[in-house]
Each structure stands twice: as structure tokens, then as C-alpha cells.
């Protein structure tokens, strides 16, 4: 490895790129945090008062251009409840029909969808109709400016955490929100995994750990193994509609029932409900340290008083906590491990402060859970570490899994699983299906996610049709459906018919995601906030890449040019000068086009070189040596 | 060492994976008996090199290629780590014919009767204790079957190996069903 490169002026092999700052973001249901890590020492970005948590609450004041995010927005909930949105994470990637499955009374006003429309829900906020993606993007933008102000550098890349149990729709929606906020998502990391990273690197602990993560709106349990710098998720499970918010709802329902019997009146506006929820939350928090208390509901003109002690509170939430414990048992079973094999239990999420939660978890695992790192901050810290690992490099490696099985609907509403849950990602799996009618020319492919037996009980991800199947007798066609899940847990499905090669591909998104027009409109809007010109940036990137490739090809020609005959060599030279020419103009597409040509032209050369490489460079090399070679090779390119 | 040279030897840029078998993918020789720790060690070592996390700062093309490598590694590890799927895979490597071995129809009446009897016994079992008895016995059968498979694969007796693999498949399936039954019984108590 060279320590110092000296180059002729103007011939630096890789143009100096501005060091992009990458942060870790915990985009939570109730609170969000942003953290930054340097030299493996992550820190949460705090405001002047030392507060790291930003309430995930956005207010859209009448007449104002900019939304208000955080504590200020939360403060206005009580005055202008109809202009304030909270807990929007629960709605990420959801369609209207999904809302029925979200428990409790929702403090949102949801726009009615047009007939037959299967699109992400819209929130009515004053005059506006906003998607959850829009609201989340506003939170992300606020976090981003907080970090930029604190670090004094532009922030453009982030690792964003999502509940392990988030489905494909919610993951895509999160990625979209980041894009709208001008952040490149380096990776979506599951929250429990991020928490484990924060603990693991801190302590260098080895063994199997459970991460119990009860946040505001979601519950996750993951079993992870940490060994020799590899973090391997063994099993994961959860409930994307179970969290501390449900505790609040349980309390509010009791308060409201008491109120009804006292006042004989049932009238409550959305605003009153938000008010009542805020009171219930306060009650919950007080009962963590106190044994009892009294709270006042002041909706309308009538004031009512409500006493609650910890014992009653625990009765109210007991079935909710039990639900999480049942899920823990199932996941343990999935991992093939007994509770006694778990070396430690990590608590994540503010709701794990509730004493009943702690005692039930301790009971199940037979040990006191770990809570050395602030459960509110641990996820953001882990995300920051991962952001550093992805940009600067790291010795640890994270091997994550897919939380929910993926399959397609077959005859009779049945589900054929193609990728089982807890499979390590990235993954690609193919399965063959056939036609069930003579001469069938098209096939509907319905992609679903979940563990239930019936397709209608699973989450529908996408429907698409494969056309152009040649007429054959029933069962003769061979339709191969391939599921590919990338490292972010996002799915692409493609289908092809074997005898004709008819192919169809779909990035699983359209049925409930945002339409392209909406995405463009939101990006345009966000561009007004963006400082740099996107177009110029994209062009610069294309040029940098072109320059890098030209240099690589040149050095390869120098090393192994003897493998080529004259005409092959001329072909490559020609393609190279075409790229050089294109780079002098501002047409990015032309650059990319010529780059593709160059790649085609050099392909035979690359193959010849690889063959030579096998014979010479790596004779008798074992894995570890290969790794060293690889790392040395990578350093050279950087 | 296997025939994979996934990085350019002058500039170190990652190259697309070649189509190689799962054993070669993980730098193993194709044998039935493998050391699980060795397999895991190689899987981790290769993932350390190829995982997309290692390429987060690289060009989209390099990212996509590393994704292919990591996908292949996961697939290979998944197939080789499980004894039954490893046996089936080994047979499919030797067998150029279309139908995967182990899925072939059973024409061995002894095997067929054994499978049917065990299944009936499981269906009749109404308490967790009986089921856990079946589980213990099936596990012993599975272990025995694997022991018998070892020399057949080592000596290249493919027909015998295929036969035993089919038995292993039946036993594994029965084991899954028995476990599920046990769970049902525990939950319904």
C-alpha cells in the first residue's frame, strides 16, 4: 500500500471528493435522533440545552412556508391540534384499508380515497393533504439541519433505522422520505441490530443476545449472535402496531370512560382527543417512578379528574405486554435457542422504562436486562457507527435477515412461500409456476408478505401480469418467478416464461406507494430547499466515474496489453476516446452511453485478464491471503 | 483454491461472479462430510470481502456486483449448511438430468410403508409425551441415516446415496410435522 501518491498536476487519478459527512438517524414514532460517529465514538447531536431527542411532531402553521418540527410543534398540539401531525411512522406505506388493523383511536384526520384507489393514505392538515412520506421528510430535513449546524459541514448521507418488522412498503416509504429530504440512504438498518452494534462495539462482547425494542409505535425482538466481528441476526419478529402509544390509548380509554359516566356526554373533537392523549402519556411517564397520581381532562368546558395508581395502570397494559412476551417466545423458537442460552438482553425504546415491561422481560429470560446505554439513544448511536463503517470502513460486518416471508398467491387464495422469513439478505430465490387453463396467455402474479396461510390475510405488496405466454396445454408453461431482496430488505420481483423467454419485472412498489408524479412533485419542492444544483452534481459524478474507469483501463492495457490483437486494441482505443470526447460536453446521457460502449468493448479483454490472473497471481492462495490481497487492492483504488 | 478471482489485479475493482457451484463459491471441495465450523469461517471471510456494506462508497455498478456475490454466498451457505440440502445438491451436481434427485418418486415399498406408518402414528398421537417420543426416535433415525450416507458419498455410490437421501428427506419432513404438532399441543394446553 502506498502512503503517499505524487502525481503530475492535473493528473490526479481520483479527483478529490468533498468528504461527505454520513450520519445515523433513528426516525422514531414518538422521537427522532441524529448521531454522528468518528473513530468509533458515536455521539448524539444535541441542541443548546443538551437535548438529543427531537419529538417526531410536525406543525404546519397557516400561512407559513416552513413546517415546524420538534418541541415547538409538540407545544402547539394543544392550541392548534388540527395543524399538527404526530406518530406518522405508524402510517408509513399504509393504504386506507390497513388503518383498520391499527389499534386504538387514531389522532389523525384521513382523507377519503377516490373510488378504487389503492394508494398511501393522506392526512388532512389544515388546507393541505399530506402523505406520511412528506411529513417524515420534514422531520428528516429538520434533523439534517440540526446536524449540519452542529458539525459545520453539509450532511448528505445517512444510515436510517427502521423497525426490523417493517414490511416492504414501509421500508420503501422511509427511503422515499429520505430522498425528498435530500439524504442519500447508505443503508436501512433494523433498529434492534443498530442497538446491538452500539452495545457490541462498546464492549467487544461475544455470544448470543436478545434485543427487546419497545418504541412508541412498534415492537421488535431480535436474536443476534456476535462473534469474531460478525453480527449475525438469527431470528427476528415483532408487531408493527404495538408500542408505548398503545399504553397511552389504554389509559385514555379508561379516563374517557370515567368521564363519560361522570358527564353523560360523549362529544370529543380530534383536538380534545390529542389533548387527552398527551395527558395519558404524562400519566404513564409519572407512574414509572411514582405509585399513583391524579390527572385533569379539560376538554370543552367540563373539567374531570382521574386518579390512577401503578397497579391499575399495569392491569390496563398487561395484555399488551403479554403480547410482546408471546412474540419473544415464538422468535426464540425460530432461532432454535432456549431462553437460557441468551447471554444478555438489551433494552431499547423509551417504553422499556415501564417497570412492568422490565419485570416481564427479566422473568422470561431469567436475568436482569441490560440498560447501560440510554434506551432512547442506543439505536441512533448504532446507526451512526454503521454510517461510519460504510463510509470510512470497519472491521465488523453485519449480516441481517428478512423479517417476514415473501410469497405469491396461488389457486384458492393459498400462499406459496418463495423466501422464508429469517433468510439472510441479500437473497435471490426463484420458483416455477405453471398455467392452469389450456391456452392461458397471461398470468396474474400477486406478491404477498407475511406468515399467514391465506393470501388475503397477508400483506399485499404488488400485483402484475405476465403477458405473452404462448398457447399451451394447462400445466405445460413454465413460469419462473424470481424474488430478489437487497441489503436494505427491499424486494424486486421478476417473472419469465421458460420456453419463450417472455419477461416482466417489477420493483415492488406501485400498488400502494407514491406515484411517480407525486414523487417528482415532492422532489421538486424539496429542491427549493436544496443548495446545490442536482443536475450539475449528477454530471460531475458521471465525469468522475468516467475518469476513474479510463484510468483503470489504461493501467490494465499497460499491464496486459499483450493479450490483445491489433483490431481488439483499436476497438478499445476508439471506445476510450469516445468517452473522453463525451466528457468534454455536458450531456450526461452521452457520457453514460459511451461508458456502456467502452464496457462492452473491454469485456473480452477483462475475461482474458481474469484467466491470466487465475493462473499467475493467485496460485495456491487461501481465503485469508485473498482477503488481504483484496483489501490491498481496494486501498490502491482509494 | 477455487477458480474465483473476483477483483481486477491491477486496479482492485470488483468483477462479476462467475457461474460456479456452491462449494467452489465458498472455497470448499464438494464432499458430503464437511466441518460446519470451517464452512462458517469461510462464509464469514467471504462475506467480509464481498458484502455490499463494503462497497457502500463505491460506484453503483460495483455495489450491484457485490450484491450478486453476497447473494450467491448466502445461497451457497444456505444449501451447504443443511445436511439434507447438501446431500441433494451433491446428487444434482453429479446428475445432469432434469429432475432433482430426492424428489424422484419413491418406488421403494419398504420406505413407503415406513413413512406411512410413522405418519399415521403421528396423526394418532394426542399428547405431547407421545409426540416427543416420536421426535426422539425420528432424530435417532436421521442421525443413523446420515452416518450411512457418509461412506456412500465418499465411495461414489450415487445410487445408494440417492436412496438414502430420499429416506432422509422423508424423515426430515416427518420431524418438521412432529415439531409442529408438539407446538400445537403445548399451545392448546
**Residues A503 and A591 occupy one common structural domain:** no
- Give the separation between CA A288 and CA A517, rounded to whole angstroms: 47
- Give the separation between CA A337 and CA B100, rounded to whole angstroms: 32
pLDDT of amino acid A616: 61
Of the residues B81, B96, B131, the one at which a domain ends: B81
Q: Is residue B88 part of a domain?
A: no
Give the nearest chain B residue to A559 (CA atoms).
B10
Chain A CB contacts of B17 under 8 Å are none
pLDDT of amino acid A545: 81
Q: Are B1 and A609 within 8 A, CB to CB?
A: no
Bridge partners of residue A22, in order along the sequence: A157
Could you tell me if B53 lies within 8 Å of chain A, comparing CB atoms?
yes
- CATH number of the domain within which B182 lies: 1.20.1280.20
Rg (alpha carbons) of chain B, rounded to whole number: 21
Asked whether the beta carbons of A296 and A279 are under 8 A apart, the reply is: yes
**Residues B76 and B120 occupy one common structural domain:** no
pLDDT of amino acid A186: 92
Q: Is residue A65 part of a domain?
A: yes
Q: Are B42 and A545 within 8 A, CB to CB?
A: no
Q: Is residue A278 part of a domain?
A: yes
pLDDT of amino acid A274: 77
CB neighbours of B15 closer than 8 A, spacing ≥ 6? A606, A610, B5, B6, B7, B8, B65
**Residues A476 and A503 occupy one common structural domain:** yes
Is A175 a known active-site residue?
no
A339 versus B109: the higher-pLDDT residue is A339
Chain A CB contacts of B183 under 8 Å are 333
**Residues A27 and A163 occupy one common structural domain:** yes
Give the nearest chain A residue to B76 (CA atoms).
A427
A411 versus A558: the higher-pLDDT residue is A558
In this predicted model, what pLDDT tens digit does every residue of A576-617 receive, in sequence order? 999 988 888 888 888 888 888 888 888 888 888 877 776 665
Give the nearest chain B residue to A485 (CA atoms).
B71
Query: Any alpha helices (H) in A336-468, and if so which ranges?
Result: 355-365, 378-391
Burial of B88-122, coded b for 16+ CB within 10 Å and e otherwise, reads bbbbbeeeeeeeebbeeeeeeeeeeebbeebeebb
- Give the separation between CA A193 and CA A324, rounded to whole angstroms: 18
Asked whether the predicted pLDDT for residue A18 surpasses 60, the reply is: no
> Which of A107-121, A460-474, B131-145 reaches the highest mean pLDDT?
B131-145
Chain A CB contacts of B45 under 8 Å are 623-624, 627
- Tally of domains within chain B: 2
**Residues B50 and B114 occupy one common structural domain:** no
Chain A CB contacts of B75 under 8 Å are 427-428
- Tally of domains within chain A: 4
Q: Is residue A119 part of a domain?
A: yes
For B134, phi then psi, to 5°, come to -65, -40
pLDDT of amino acid A589: 83
- CATH number of the domain within which B65 lies: 1.10.287.110
Could you tell me if B11 lies within 8 Å of chain A, comparing CB atoms?
yes
Could you tell me if B74 lies within 8 Å of chain A, comparing CB atoms?
yes
Mean pLDDT of A530-556: 74
Q: Is residue B126 part of a domain?
A: yes
**Residues A26 and A171 occupy one common structural domain:** yes
Provide long-range contacts, Cβ within 8 A and 24+ apart, for A140-143: A140/A25, A140/A27, A140/A177, A140/A178, A140/A180, A140/A181, A140/A183, A141/A69, A141/A181, A141/A182, A141/A526, A141/A529, A142/A54, A142/A69, A142/A70, A143/A25, A143/A32, A143/A33, A143/A34, A143/A54
Q: Is residue A364 part of a domain?
A: no
Asked whether the predicted pLDDT for residue A104 surpasses 60, the reply is: no
In this predicted model, what pLDDT tens digit does every residue of B57-108 receive, in sequence order? 788 888 889 999 999 999 999 999 999 999 999 998 887 544 444 445 556 7
Q: Are A423 and B71 within 8 A, CB to CB?
A: no
With pLDDT > 90 as the criterion, what percentage of chain A qualifies? 28
Q: Is residue B9 part of a domain?
A: no
Mean pLDDT of A332-349: 89
Q: Are B15 and A399 within 8 A, CB to CB?
A: no
From the list A98, A138, A168, A213, the catalytic residue is A213
pLDDT of amino acid A387: 94
Asked whether the predicted pLDDT for residue B130 surpasses 90, the reply is: no
In SS3 terms, A232-281 reads as: EEEEEEEECCCCHHHHHHHHHHHHHHHHHHHHCCCCCCHHHHHHHHHHHH
The shortest CB-CB distance from B47 to any of A399, A609, A636 is to A399
Q: Is residue A32 part of a domain?
A: yes
Asked whether the predicted pLDDT for residue B180 surpasses 70, the reply is: yes
In this predicted model, what pLDDT tens digit does every residue of A269-295 receive, in sequence order? 777 787 888 899 999 999 988 899 998
**Residues A508 and A562 occupy one common structural domain:** no
Mean pLDDT of A327-356: 90
Chain B CB contacts of A391 under 8 Å are 56-57
Asked whether the predicted pLDDT for residue A528 surpasses 80, the reply is: no
Query: What is the pLDDT confidence band of residue A509, given thresholds at 50, 70 and 90?
Result: very low
Angle, in degrees to the nearest 10, between helices A310-335 and A355-365: 30
**Average pLDDT score over chain B:** 83
Chain A CB contacts of B65 under 8 Å are none
**Residues A480 and A563 occupy one common structural domain:** no
A348 versus A240: the higher-pLDDT residue is A348
Q: Are B7 and A426 within 8 A, CB to CB?
A: no
Chain A CB contacts of B6 under 8 Å are 630
Q: Are B3 and A423 within 8 A, CB to CB?
A: no
- CATH number of the domain within which A255 lies: 3.90.640.10
**Residues A25 and A174 occupy one common structural domain:** yes
In this predicted model, what pLDDT tens digit does every residue of A400-419 receive, in sequence order? 888 888 998 887 788 888 99
Of the residues A392, A424, A440, the one at which a domain ends: A392
Of the residues A365, A392, A419, the one at which a domain ends: A392
**Residues A383 and A411 occupy one common structural domain:** no
Q: Which of A243-252, A365-374, A497-506, A591-600 has the weakest average pLDDT?
A: A497-506
- CATH number of the domain within which A498 lies: 2.60.34.10
Chain A CB contacts of B74 under 8 Å are 423-427
In this predicted model, what pLDDT tens digit does every residue of B1-13 receive, in sequence order? 333 456 776 677 7
Asked whether the predicted pLDDT for residue B169 surpasses 70, the reply is: yes
**Residues A32 and A172 occupy one common structural domain:** yes
The shortest CB-CB distance from A613 to any of B9, B53, B75 is to B9
Mean pLDDT of A342-346: 91
pLDDT of amino acid A100: 59
Q: Is residue B10 part of a domain?
A: no
pLDDT of amino acid A527: 52
- CATH number of the domain within which A54 lies: 3.30.420.40
**Residues A171 and A253 occupy one common structural domain:** no
In this predicted model, what pLDDT tens digit does every residue of A167-178 receive, in sequence order? 888 898 999 999
**Residues A290 and A382 occupy one common structural domain:** no
Residue with cell 440540526: A146
Give the nearest chain B residue to A637 (CA atoms).
B11
Asked whether the beta carbons of B182 and B128 are under 8 A apart, the reply is: yes
Strands A344-348 and A207-214, by their bridges, are: parallel
With pLDDT > 70 as the criterion, what percentage of chain B qualifies? 86
Is A89 a known active-site residue?
yes
**Cell, residue A466:** 405476465
Asked whether the predicted pLDDT for residue A22 surpasses 50, the reply is: yes
Q: Which range marks the domain in which residue A609 is found?
A: 534-637
Is A341 a known active-site residue?
no
Taking the CA of residue A429 and the nearest CA in chain B, the distance in Å comes to 8
**Cell, residue A267:** 362529544
pLDDT of amino acid A106: 60
- Residue from B10, B23, B80, B180 whose CB has the most chain A CBs within 10 Å, to mutate: B10
* Closest residue by Cα to residue B1 from B17, B19, B22, B25: B25
* Closest residue by Cα to residue A197 from A171, A168, A233, A170: A233
* Closest residue by Cα to residue A263 from A219, A235, A298: A298
Q: What is the ipTM of this complex?
A: 0.81
**Residues B57 and B115 occupy one common structural domain:** no
pLDDT of amino acid A146: 93
Q: Is residue B104 part of a domain?
A: no
Burial of A436-456, coded b for 16+ CB within 10 Å and e otherwise, reads eeeebeebebbbbbbeeeebe
- CATH number of the domain within which A602 lies: 1.20.1270.10
Could you tell me if B16 lies within 8 Å of chain A, comparing CB atoms?
no
**Residues A386 and A454 occupy one common structural domain:** no
Rg (alpha carbons) of chain A, rounded to whole number: 28
Q: Is residue B4 part of a domain?
A: no
Asked whether the predicted pLDDT for residue A637 surpasses 50, the reply is: no
Mean pLDDT of A104-120: 63
Q: Are A424 and B7 within 8 A, CB to CB?
A: no
In this predicted model, what pLDDT tens digit does every residue of A193-213 receive, in sequence order? 899 888 875 556 788 999 999
The shortest CB-CB distance from B51 to any of A397, A427, A623 is to A397
Of the residues B81, B101, B119, the one at which a domain ends: B81
Q: Is residue B101 part of a domain?
A: no
Q: Is residue A358 part of a domain?
A: no
Could you tell me if B15 lies within 8 Å of chain A, comparing CB atoms?
yes
* Closest residue by Cα to residue A194 from A11, A367, A347, A382: A382
**Residues B114 and B150 occupy one common structural domain:** yes
Asked whether the predicted pLDDT for residue A455 surpasses 70, the reply is: yes
Could you tell me if B85 lies within 8 Å of chain A, comparing CB atoms?
no
Name the pTM for this structure.
Answer: 0.75
Is A26 a known active-site residue?
yes
Q: Which range marks the domain in which residue B28 is found?
A: 22-81
Query: What is the pLDDT confidence band of residue A21, given thresholds at 50, 70 and 90?
Result: confident
Q: Is residue B86 part of a domain?
A: no
* A/B interface, count of CB pairs below 8 Å: 110
**Cell, residue A207:** 455470544
Amino acid at each position: 500500500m502506498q502512503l503517499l501518491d505524487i502525481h503530475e498536476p492535473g493528473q490526479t487519478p481520483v479527483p478529490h471528493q468533498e468528504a461527505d459527512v454520513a450520519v445515523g438517524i433513528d426516525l422514531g414514532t414518538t422521537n427522532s435522533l441524529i448521531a454522528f460517529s468518528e473513530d468509533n465514538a458515536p455521539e448524539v447531536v444535541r441542541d443548546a440545552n443538551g437535548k438529543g431527542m427531537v419529538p417526531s411532531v410536525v406543525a404546519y402553521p397557516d400561512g407559513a412556508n416552513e413546517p415546524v418540527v420538534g418541541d415547538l410543534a409538540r407545544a402547539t398540539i394543544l392550541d392548534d391540534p388540527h395543524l399538527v401531525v404526530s406518530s406518522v411512522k405508524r402510517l408509513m406505506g399504509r393504504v386506507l384499508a390497513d388503518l383498520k388493523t391499527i389499534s386504538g383511536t387514531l389522532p389523525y384526520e384521513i382523507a377519503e380515497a377516490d373510488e378504487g384507489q389503492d394508494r398511501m393514505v393522506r392526512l388532512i392538515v389544515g388546507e393541505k393533504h399530506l402523505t406520511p412520506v412528506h411529513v417524515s421528510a420534514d422531520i428528516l430535513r429538520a434533523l439534517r439541519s440540526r446536524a449540519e449546524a452542529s458539525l459545520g459541514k453539509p450532511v448528505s448521507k445517512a444510515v436510517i433505522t427502521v423497525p426490523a418488522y417493517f414490511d416492504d412498503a414501509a421500508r420503501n416509504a422511509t427511503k422515499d422520505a429520505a430522498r425528498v429530504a435530500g439524504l442519500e440512504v447508505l443503508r436501512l438498518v433494523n433498529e434492534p441490530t443498530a442497538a446491538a452494534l452500539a452495545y457490541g462495539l462498546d464492549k467487544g462482547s461475544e455470544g448470543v443476545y436478545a434485543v427487546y425494542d419497545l418504541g412508541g409505535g412498534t415492537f421488535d425482538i431480535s436474536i443476534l449472535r456476535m462473534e469474531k466481528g460478525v453480527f449475525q441476526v438469527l431470528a427476528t419478529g415483532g408487531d408493527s402496531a404495538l408500542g408505548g402509544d398503545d399504553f397511552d390509548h389504554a389509559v385514555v380509554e379508561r379516563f374517557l370512560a370515567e368521564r363519560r359516566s361522570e358527564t353523560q356526554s360523549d362529544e370529543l373533537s380530534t383536538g380534545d382527543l390529542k389533548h387527552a392523549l398527551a395527558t395519558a402519556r404524562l400519566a404513564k411517564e409519572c407512574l414509572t417512578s411514582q405509585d399513583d397520581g391524579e390527572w385533569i381532562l379539560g376538554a370543552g368546558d367540563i373539567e374531570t379528574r382521574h386518579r390512577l395508581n401503578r397497579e391499575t395502570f399495569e392491569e390496563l397494559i398487561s395484555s399488551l405486554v403479554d403480547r410482546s412476551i408471546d412474540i419473544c417466545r415464538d422468535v426464540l423458537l425460530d432461532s432454535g435457542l432456549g431462553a437460557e442460552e441468551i447471554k444478555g438482553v438489551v433494552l431499547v425504546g423509551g417504553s422499556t422504562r415501564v417497570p412492568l415491561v422490565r419485570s416481564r422481560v427479566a422473568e422470561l429470560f431469567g436475568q436482569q436486562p441490560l440498560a447501560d446505554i440510554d434506551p432512547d439513544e442506543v439505536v441512533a448511536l448504532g446507526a451512526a457507527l454503521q454510517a461510519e463503517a460504510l463510509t470510512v470502513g470497519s472491521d465488523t460486518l453485519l449480516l441481517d435477515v428478512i423479517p417476514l416471508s415473501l410469497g405469491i398467491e396461488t389457486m384458492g387464495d393459498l400462499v406459496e412461500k418463495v423466501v422464508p422469513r429469517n433468510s439472510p439478505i441479500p437473497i435471490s430465490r426463484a420458483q416455477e409456476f405453471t398455467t392452469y387453463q389450456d391456452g392461458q396467455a397471461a398470468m396474474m402474479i400477486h406478491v404477498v408478505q407475511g406468515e399467514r396461510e391465506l393470501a388475503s390475510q397477508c400483506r399485499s405488496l404488488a400485483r402484475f401480469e405476465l403477458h405473452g405466454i404462448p398457447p399451451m396445454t394447462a400445466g405445460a408453461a413454465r413460469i419462473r418467478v424470481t424474488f430478489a431482496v437487497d441489503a436494505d430488505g427491499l424486494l424486486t420481483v421478476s417473472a419469465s416464461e421458460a420456453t419463450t423467454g417472455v419477461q416482466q419485472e417489477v420493483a415492488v412498489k406501485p400498488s400502494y406507494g407514491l406515484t411517480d408524479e407525486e414523487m417528482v412533485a415532492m422532489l421538486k419542492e424539496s429542491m427549493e430547499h436544496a443548495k446545490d444544483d442536482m443536475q450539475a452534481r449528477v454530471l460531475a459524478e458521471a465525469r468522475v466515474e468516467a475518469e476513474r474507469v479510463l484510468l483503470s483501463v489504461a493501467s490494465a492495457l499497460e499491464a496486459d496489453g499483450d493479450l490483445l490483437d491489433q483490431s481488439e486494441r483499436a476497438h478499445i482505443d476508439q471506445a476510450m476516446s469516445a468517452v473522453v470526447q463525451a466528457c468534454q460536453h455536458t450531456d450526461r446521457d452521452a457520457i453514460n452511453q459511451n461508458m456502456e460502449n467502452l464496457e462492452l468493448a473491454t469485456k473480452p479483454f477483462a475475461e482474458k485478464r481474469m484467466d491470466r490472473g487465475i493462473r499467475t497471481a493467485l496460485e495456491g492462495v487461501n481465503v485469508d491471503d485473498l482477503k488481504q490481497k483484496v483489501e490491498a487492492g481496494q486501498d490502491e483504488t482509494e | 483454491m477455487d477458480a474465483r478471482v473476483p477483483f481486477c489485479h491491477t486496479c482492485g475493482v470488483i468483477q462479476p461472479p462467475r457461474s460456479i457451484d456452491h462449494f467452489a463459491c465458498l472455497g470448499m471441495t464438494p464432499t458430503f462430510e464437511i466441518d460446519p465450523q470451517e464452512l462458517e469461517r469461510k462464509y464469514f471471510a467471504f462475506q467480509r470481502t464481498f458484502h455490499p456494506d463494503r462497497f457502500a462508497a463505491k460506484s453503483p455498478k460495483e455495489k450491484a456486483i457485490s450484491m450478486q456475490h453476497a447473494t450467491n454466498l448466502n445461497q451457497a451457505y444456505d444449501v451447504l449448511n443443511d445436511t439434507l440440502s447438501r446431500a441433494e445438491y451433491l446428487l444434482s451436481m453429479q446428475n445432469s438430468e432434469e429432475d432433482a434427485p430426492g424428489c424422484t418418486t419413491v418406488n421403494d415399498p419398504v420406505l413407503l410403508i415406513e413413512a406411512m406408518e410413522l405418519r399415521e402414528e403421528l396423526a394418532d398421537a394426542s399428547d405431547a409425551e407421545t409426540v416427543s417420543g416420536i421426535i426422539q426416535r425420528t432424530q435417532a433415525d436421521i442421525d443413523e441415516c446420515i452416518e450411512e450416507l457418509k461412506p456412500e458419498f465418499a465411495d461414489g455410490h450415487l445410487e445408494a446415496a440417492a436412496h438414502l437421501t430420499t429416506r432422509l428427506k422423508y424423515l426430515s419432513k416427518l420431524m418438521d410435522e412432529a415439531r409442529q404438532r408438539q407446538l400445537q399441543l403445548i399451545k392448546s394446553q
